[in-house]
Chains A and B, each alone.
Chain A
């Protein structure tokens, strides 16, 4: 019973580092470059884990604990998602609040670790990160509200599980709107274009990258891995909303999920190659647009 979700979780954690690579490779190919290999992040992680680390003299234990909290929270959040559309490792009513709360705790730790260095760059990134999250959080709750209204369930395992498959066609317009909003949130939460640009080289335009400027060695690896898993979680949400995985047999669903994650990552790459990063004061508008999509979904179900 518990084995299936556990294996799916391990599978997702294993393929997660390939997703940013896939997105970056897509972007490179579409813009006429060869780009880094898809599996580059695995090599980076292996190298970072072997490296020594340099700590700033200004920092305290907060700086060292931060990356561990980031990884622990995204993995704990992953246990709440019914990744294969059948069951989650851990499920209770209202666990979607725990899901967002865990991501929030990771952000809390990361932002404080950045502020711990006393650098103006890190402060700037932290300020931007929390601003983006303020606009992303209501949008995420509105997307989950669509699922609550569509299925009448208030746990993630219920609202993304077999019940969703049963009501999918009746609520399809709302669910598609919610999935679109979730995709936009995935871009914002994992710092991709048009909210942030992972390939930028100018600190003044960064959000996520600039918070972690002073992290090095295994700590940096933890943060990169945590961000990749976060992309996988949002990808799984998008896939789960669009494809009723609960209809598939238990052995097939994880494979379809991985394929869905790949499609989402390629989608991220396509977005990145087709538009530029938004000006910083436009970012809230982008996220309000995501909220508006989800609100339309809610209205369609409330009428």
Chain B
């Protein structure tokens, strides 16, 4: 715990350094990056020790503070979430120095750096708090620093609107959480998590309410459909390195909360599992479908976060169902898959957002239909982005496959068990659909950004090149981690199972003591290594062919079409049109077609179809109430007397009853 405390101090020092030294940019950047990396290293080493089975510790700030002890602790679950917070946080923070460096000439950036570390500290606080009040305090630090970071480009009206929606929704989530903690406290003796857990081991009305509110509060934070609509706007509006942390890490705090609640209440009921499962399936399919309809780089990636949260919730749902129906082996697979996907998504999604940031900085264009052919001029960015794409689609041999494979195993094992848990096997077809849609979406993105010809005259004239080391380094580090976990899944499977043992999320030790999982992990390693070796061998063998080295270059043939211009290429719109058309109104796209152009625009079916109309309706009906605000004194007095009368009547009636 001492190391983690040191990490927090170093992080705060990094922010303070950036602020104090803002007149000397070079020195400030150096101090900021050094302290940030040192702090992350300190915190990560502590987390790794705990995950390797080392002792966990709790620090209670003594004294009679309001709301019970301010306790912070690092158990394996907290340590697991510290990994993305500090790991991805350090990568994104370092990237941010290069990314914001371009803005230094016309805008102070020190404040953004300071807020960024404050966000990391808030996130660390949320996952280490062991009592209600420090949890909510850290939660607010996180929510508000994130809001200020989203508002970085506040000159833009769209950014201000996205920020407004975000701040309203994040406080709705806080409200739900306060309600949840209140319900949990009904039967508990104190405000620490241990006491809350002891008071809620048995089913009851208070516990049911608490679980329902946890779904709302943490579901909002995680961005599960239909509570996702704040997410794409906010994540697209923030600076790219902040988007990386918001999408890759901050959403996971919702997942952390759900895991924490599950660990507190012992065996959660089956309806909770089916609710998570259903939310996961809906979020997964709709998230990726709506992502496919997007043509703005960062909004597309943000919708993919909704999809991946769906996959995590599917895994959690299978886990809870496994516990509820007494199938610990299924539960272990589901929970492990959810934990692994939490980490893996943090890695590849932040990688993709950083890649998007590099593209944005180089081109200044958000709409992917204006880009194309970047792969030739920004090869390293293209490679890193490509690794992230293969990982997010869940294809072997990268890390996305490892976690989706584990979730799949959970669902298939559920199918091989008894009723009614067997019905969870339908999730496999759903997850298959999600994977295929993700493949369509990322071939669209990679193909439109990096391959072919530039799709607009401007993009063809831009002087493009890969970003410098400070931006490229973090991307390549994240890509390396994606490959490493994909090839050696045992490294992350072992600590994930330790969490389930230590927190007693899965009752009984039989399923967790079973070590046959390591043979499965070895199978994945062999398959991945074999695949890579086969591709390399084939590429080498290609040179030994009789005509191996001889190649002629020519323009693209495409059946000898005489005139071929870059405008005749498929765009992201036309690429996705056939598929979106097959899904009809579910995709929320609007097609505009003229003789020489084809474009699809897209609206979020929840936000633009339900929430905003309801909001406007509320505004219209409120007009009816305006009559009583006429500004006449006697009218107001009458209202006051009327209210008093009603209250008096109520009191006399209540008094008689008691």
Contacts and interface: CB of A to CB of B under 8 A. Distances in A.
B539 A52 contact: no
Contact of A217 (B519, B547, B555, B568): B547
A162 B499 CA distance: 37
B433 A138 contact: yes
Contacts of B578: 127-128, 131, 280
A129 to B, nearest CB: 9
Q: Which of A98, A135, A136, A149 has most B Cβ within 10 Å?
A: A98
Interface stretch (A21-29, A68-76, A165-173, A249-257): A68-76
A23 B578 CA distance: 29
A108 B422 CA distance: 32
Given A104-B435, A112-B443, A131-B578, A149 B550 contact: no
A148 B417 CA distance: 10
B582 A131 contact: yes
Interface string A82-118: 0000000011111111101110110110011001111
B531 A123 contact: no
A222 B538 CA distance: 10
Contacts of A302: 419, 422-423
Given A108-B439, A112-B447, A101 B409 contact: no
Interface stretch (B49-57, B246-254, B390-398): B390-398
A53 B453 contact: no
A60 interface: yes
The 8 closest A-B pairs by CB, nearest first: A123-B570, A92-B523, A115-B447, A118-B452, A119-B558, A137-B436, A141-B432, A94-B409
A137 B401 CA distance: 16
A92 B443 contact: no
16 contacts: A52-B547, A53-B551, A57-B554, A60-B451, A68-B538, A68-B542, A76-B531, A79-B527, A90-B526, A91-B523, A108-B439, A118-B569, A130-B443, A134-B433, A213-B557, A214-B558
A218 B558 contact: no
Contact of A117 (B375, B448, B452, B526): B452
Given A69-B535, A142-B429, A213-B559, A115 B443 contact: yes
Interface in B549-573: 550-559, 561, 564, 566, 568-570
Given A62-B375, A98-B401, A98-B405, A149 B439 contact: no
Given A92-B523, A126-B570, A58 B453 contact: yes
Interface in A52-67: 52-60, 62, 64-65
A152 interface: yes
A79 B519 CA distance: 17
Contacts of B545: 49-50, 218
A295 to B, nearest CB: 8
A141 B428 contact: yes
B575 A127 contact: yes
A149 B415 contact: yes
Given A58-B555, A76-B530, 18 more contacts: A50-B546, A62-B451, A68-B539, A76-B531, A92-B522, A94-B409, A94-B520, A98-B396, A101-B394, A105-B390, A108-B442, A112-B443, A123-B447, A123-B574, A142-B429, A148-B415, A154-B415, A214-B558
A104 B447 contact: no
Contact of B534 (A75, A133, A281): A75
B404 interface: yes
Contacts of B428: 141, 144-145
A141 B432 CA distance: 7
A293 interface: no
Q: Which of A64, A115, A128, A142 has most B Cβ within 10 Å?
A: A115
Q: Which of A69, A101, A105, A138 has most B Cβ within 10 Å?
A: A101
A76 B423 CA distance: 31
Contact of B559 (A90, A130, A144, A203): A203
B575 A126 contact: yes
B164 interface: no
Interface size class of A (residues with CB under 8 A): 35 or more
A144 B428 CA distance: 9
A120 interface: yes
B575 A73 contact: no
Contacts of B404: 97
B130 to A, nearest CB: 36
Interface residues of B, number: 86
B453 A152 contact: no
Contact of A76 (B393, B412, B534): B534
B440 interface: yes
Given A92-B519, A104-B393, A130-B440, A76 B527 contact: yes
A149 B425 contact: yes
Nearest to A280: B578
Contact of B440 (A50, A133, A144, A149): A133
Contact of B550 (A52, A118, A284): A52
Given A54-B551, A94-B412, A126-B447, A120 B439 contact: no
A121 B409 contact: no
B436 A120 contact: no
Q: Which of A75, A102, A116, A118 has most B Cβ within 10 Å?
A: A118
B576 interface: yes
B137 interface: no
A100 B396 CA distance: 10
Contacts of B535: 65, 68-69, 72
Contact of A108 (B372, B393, B433, B581): B393
Given A134-B437, A138-B436, A213 B558 contact: yes
Which secondary structure dominates where chain A touches chain B? helix
B579 interface: yes
A51 interface: yes
B70 interface: no
Interface string B309-349: 00000000000000000000000000000000000000000
A152 to B, nearest CB: 4
B453 A118 contact: yes
Nearest to A51: B547
A164 B442 CA distance: 37
A102 B396 contact: yes
Interface string B445-486: 011100111000000000000000000000000000000000
A303 to B, nearest CB: 10
Interface string B508-540: 000000001001101110110011001100110
Interface in B31-62: none
B413 interface: yes
A124 interface: yes
Contact of B396 (A93, A105, A122, A130): A105
A175 interface: no
Contacts of A111: 443, 447
Interface string A208-221: 00000110011000
Contact of B451 (A65, A68, A112): A112
B582 A115 contact: no
Contact of B416 (A51, A148, A213): A148
A275 to B, nearest CB: 21
Contacts of B527: 76, 79-80, 90, 95, 98
Contacts of B425: 145, 148-149, 298
Interface in B234-262: none
A2 to B, nearest CB: 12
A201 B516 CA distance: 53
Contacts of B396: 98, 101-102, 105
B542 A218 contact: yes
A280 B579 CA distance: 11
Contacts of A54: 551-554, 557
A130 B439 contact: yes
Contacts of A140: 432
B606 to A, nearest CB: 22
A120 B415 contact: no
Contacts of B395: 101-102, 104-105, 108
A93 B520 contact: yes
Contact of A93 (B375, B409, B576): B409
